[in-house]
Amino acid sequence: MFSSAFKSFTSNISSNYEISKQSSATVGAWTVFDAKKKSTGTQASVFVFDRKSLDINSSGFGARATSSTSLRKIQDEVVERLKREASSLARLRHPSVLQLVEPVEETRNGGLMFATEPVLCSLSAALAQKDQAGSRNGRGLSRSVSDDGGASKTSEDVEIDELEIQKGLLQVAKGLEFLHDSAKLVHGNFNPDAIMINAKSDWKISGLGFAGPPDGAVGHQAVAQISLSEVLHHDPRIPRFVQLDLDYTSPDFVLDSNINSSADIFSLGLVILACYRQPHRSPVETHGNQSTYKKIFSNASTVPSSSNNYLSQGALPRELNVTLPRMLARRPAQRLTASEFQQSEYFDNILVNTMRFLDAFPAKTPVEKSQFMKGLGRVMPQFPPSVLGKKILSVLLDEMKDRDLLPLMMQNIFQIVKVIPTSKDVVSNKVLPRMTEIFLTKAKSEERDSSKEAALVVVLNNIQLIADNCSAKQFKDDVLPIVHVAMESSTHSLTEAALQSLPVVLPLIDFSTVKHDLFPVVASVFSKTSSLTIKVKGLEALGVLCGVSVHKMSSRNDDFGGTAQQEKPDKNVSSLDKFTMQEKVVPLLKGIKTKEPAVMMAALKVFRQISIVADTDFLATEVMPILWNFSLGPLLDLTQFQAFMDVIKTVTAKIEREQIRKLQELSGSRPSDTRPTLLSQTTTSNGSQRGGQVNAPEEDFEKLVLGNKNSEKNDVFAGALSEGEKLTPNAPSFSWSPVAGQNKASVSTPSFSSLPVLQPQLSSRSITPDVSMSAFATLQPQAPSSASIWGASSPPPMAMQSQQPVLQPANYGAAPANAISPRPPPPPSTNSWQLPPPPGPRSLQSPAFTPSIPPPQQSPMLKNTWQPNSGMSSQPSFGGPLNVLQPQAKPQQPAQPKKTGLDKYESLI
Any idea which of 149-153, 212-216, 346-350, 413-417 has the lowest mean pLDDT? 149-153
Residues 806-864: tens digit of each pLDDT: 444 444 444 444 444 444 455 554 444 444 555 544 444 444 444 445 555 544 444 44
Q: Please tell me which residue, 816 or 701, carries the higher pLDDT value.
A: 701
Residue 89: closest CA among 259, 10, 204: 204
Predicted pLDDT of residue 789? 41
CA dihedral angle for residue 627, residue 631, residue 632, residue 635, rounded to 10 degrees: 140
pTM of the full structure: 0.62
Predicted pLDDT of residue 83? 87
Residue 224 near residue 251 (C-beta atoms within 8 A): no
Cis peptide before 433 (omega within 30 of 0): no
Residue 594 has pLDDT above 80, yes or no: yes
CA separation for the pair 98, 92 (Å, rounded): 9
Helices (H), 381-449: 385-387, 393-398, 406-417, 423-426, 432-439
Residue 856 near residue 776 (C-beta atoms within 8 A): yes
Residue 715: closest CA among 698, 734, 736, 731: 731
Residues 730-757: tens digit of each pLDDT: 555 555 545 444 444 444 444 444 444 4
Predicted pLDDT of residue 805? 44
CA separation for the pair 173, 190 (Å, rounded): 11
Burial grade of 234 (CB within 10 A; 0-12, 13-18, 19 or more): middle
Which residues, 6 or more positions from 413, have their beta carbon under 8 angstroms from its beta carbon?
A: 393, 396, 397, 431
Residue 450: pLDDT band (50, 70, 90) is confident
- The H helix count followed by the E strand count for the chain is 35, 14
Residue 843: closest CA among 900, 787, 804: 787
537 Rama class: left (phi>0) / alpha (psi -120 to 50) / beta: alpha
Predicted pLDDT of residue 487? 92
Residue 51 near residue 72 (C-beta atoms within 8 A): no
Residue 727: pLDDT band (50, 70, 90) is very low
Residues 149-196: tens digit of each pLDDT: 333 333 345 778 888 899 999 999 999 999 999 999 999 999 999 999
Query: Cα dist. 191→218, 238, 248, 394, 867 in Å?
Result: 27, 19, 6, 27, 145
Which residues, 6 or more positions from 215, have their beta carbon under 8 angstroms from its beta carbon?
A: 225, 258, 259, 260
User: Which 3 state secondary structure label does DSSP give 214?
Assistant: coil
User: Which 3 state secondary structure label does DSSP give 560?
Assistant: coil
Q: DSSP assignment of 765-793, as one string?
A: ------TT-S-PPPPPP----SS-S--S-
User: Which 3 state secondary structure label does DSSP give 26?
Assistant: strand
Residue 327 near residue 318 (C-beta atoms within 8 A): no
Residue 223 has pLDDT above 70, yes or no: yes
Residues 312-321: tens digit of each pLDDT: 888 888 889 8
Residue 266 near residue 251 (C-beta atoms within 8 A): yes
Residue 76 has pLDDT above 60, yes or no: yes
Residues 631-687: tens digit of each pLDDT: 999 999 999 999 999 999 999 999 999 999 999 998 875 555 444 444 444 444 444
Percent residues over pLDDT 90 in the chain: 40
Which residues, 6 or more positions from 206, have their beta carbon under 8 angstroms from its beta carbon?
A: 27, 85, 89, 97, 98, 194, 195, 196
The count of C-alpha atoms lying within 13 angstroms of the C-alpha of 399, restricted to the half-sphere facing its C-beta, is 27
Predicted pLDDT of residue 732? 54
Q: What is the mean pLDDT of residues 250-259?
A: 92
Q: What is the mean pLDDT of residues 541-570?
A: 63
Helix (H) or strand (E) holding 198: strand 195-198
Predicted pLDDT of residue 548? 84
Q: What is the 3-state secondary structure (H, E, C) of 364-391?
A: CCHHHHHHHHHHHHHHHHHCCHHHHHHH
CA separation for the pair 96, 171 (Å, rounded): 6
The count of C-alpha atoms lying within 13 angstroms of the C-alpha of 63, restricted to the half-sphere facing its C-beta, is 8
User: Which 3 state secondary structure label does DSSP give 347?
Assistant: helix
Residues 797-808: tens digit of each pLDDT: 444 444 444 444
Residue 848: closest CA among 786, 782, 783: 786
Residue 172: closest CA among 242, 276, 94: 94
Predicted pLDDT of residue 356? 86
- Name the residue type at position 100: L
Residue 697: pLDDT band (50, 70, 90) is low
Residue 220: pLDDT band (50, 70, 90) is low
Helices (H), 188-261: 228-232, 251-254
Predicted pLDDT of residue 226? 81
CA separation for the pair 307, 312 (Å, rounded): 11
Residue 52 has pLDDT above 60, yes or no: yes
For residue 450, list its beta bridge partners.
none
Predicted pLDDT of residue 772? 54
Q: Please tell me which residue, 231 or 710, carries the higher pLDDT value.
A: 231
Residue 168: closest CA among 390, 396, 421: 390
Q: Please tell me which residue, 230 or 360, carries the higher pLDDT value.
A: 360
Sheet holding 43-49, edge to edge: 17-27, 30-37, 43-49, 112-116, 100-106
- Name the residue type at position 113: M
CA separation for the pair 396, 406 (Å, rounded): 9
Q: In degrees, to the nearest 5, what angle opens at C-alpha 539 toward C-alphas 537 and 542?
A: 110
Residue 105: closest CA among 214, 202, 14: 14
Residue 544: closest CA among 585, 583, 597, 579: 585
Residues 485-543: tens digit of each pLDDT: 999 988 999 999 999 999 999 999 999 999 999 999 999 999 999 899 999 999 999 99
Q: Please tell me which residue, 377 or 729, carries the higher pLDDT value.
A: 377
Residue 338 near residue 176 (C-beta atoms within 8 A): yes
Kindly give the interhelix angle for 597-613 and 532-546, rounded to the nearest 10 degrees. 10
CA dihedral angle for residue 543, residue 547, residue 551, residue 552, rounded to 10 degrees: -60
Q: DSSP assignment of 471-521, as one string?
A: -HHHIIIIIHHHHHHHHT-S-HHHHHHHHHTHHHHGGGS-HHHIIIIIHHH
CA separation for the pair 212, 230 (Å, rounded): 14
Q: What is the mean pLDDT of residues 252-276?
A: 93
User: Which 3 state secondary structure label does DSSP give 583?
Assistant: helix
Residue 430 has pLDDT above 80, yes or no: yes
Any idea which of 17-21, 283-287, 434-438, 780-784 has the lowest mean pLDDT? 780-784
- Name the residue type at position 95: P
Q: What is the 3-state secondary structure (H, E, C) of 457-474?
A: HHHHHCHHHHHHCCCHHH
Residue 125 near residue 191 (C-beta atoms within 8 A): no
Predicted pLDDT of residue 117? 93
Determine the straight-line distance between the first and last CA of the chain, rounded to whole angstroms: 144
Residue 614 near residue 627 (C-beta atoms within 8 A): no
Q: What is the mean pLDDT of residues 583-601?
A: 93
Residue 195: closest CA among 118, 126, 241: 126
Residue 737 near residue 834 (C-beta atoms within 8 A): yes
Residue 296: closest CA among 263, 331, 322, 330: 330
Sheet holding 119-122, edge to edge: 119-122, 195-198, 203-205
The overall average pLDDT reported for the chain is 75
